[in-house]
Structures are given as structure tokens and as C-alpha cells.
Amino acid sequence: MSSCKLDHPLEDVYSKLDSQKSFLPAELFEGCQQFLAEEPSQLELNELFHLLKKYDLASEEEQHSRNEAIARLINA
């Protein structure tokens, strides 16, 4: 994912997650919710935000790649 100088607050990441809920596999959505409840670092928040950003517009191959990256992040 491209890096961004903007720090995304927890509320923004929750909002982005909710906006992509219908496009994400259910287990990843639930995993992200649990991950966010555990007070992740700012770096982790930014990474998750960018993995979720425009997820719905990504190709199936890109979504698969992002799914793997999200799983690695939330299961680390």
C-alpha cells in the first residue's frame, strides 16, 4: 500500500471498515473489529485504513492480496 503522512484516528478506521463490510469476507470483518478493540498502534491503524481504502473498487486479485495482508496484520 502507498504510504500516507496522515494519521487515521480509530474512529476513521472503524468508519472505513463499516463502509467495506459488505465486500469483506465475514471472518476478516469480525477479525478487524476484534483487532480494533485491542487498541492497535497508530502505524497499525494507518496500515489497516489503507488496506480497506477503496477495497470495493479493487480487482478480485487485489482484494485477495489485501485479504492476506489484513489477516497478517490482525493475527500478528
Q: Is residue 60 part of a domain?
A: yes
Q: Which amino acid is at 48?
A: L
| pLDDT digit string, tens, across residues 35-49 | 999 999 999 999 999
Question: Are 7 and 40 spatial neighbours (Cβ–Cβ below 8 Å)?
Answer: no
Q: How many domains does the chain have?
A: 1
What is the rounded CA–CA span in Å between residue 65 and residue 67? 5
Return the C-alpha cell found at 62. 487485489
| pLDDT digit string, tens, across residues 13-63 | 999 999 999 999 999 999 999 999 999 999 999 999 999 999 999 999 999
Q: Is residue 39 part of a domain?
A: yes
pLDDT of residue 5: 72
What is the rounded CA–CA span in Å between residue 52 and residue 61? 15
pLDDT of residue 58: 98
Question: Are 25 and 71 spatial neighbours (Cβ–Cβ below 8 Å)?
Answer: no
pLDDT of residue 63: 98
Q: Which domain holds residue 46?
A: 10-74
Q: Is residue 37 part of a domain?
A: yes
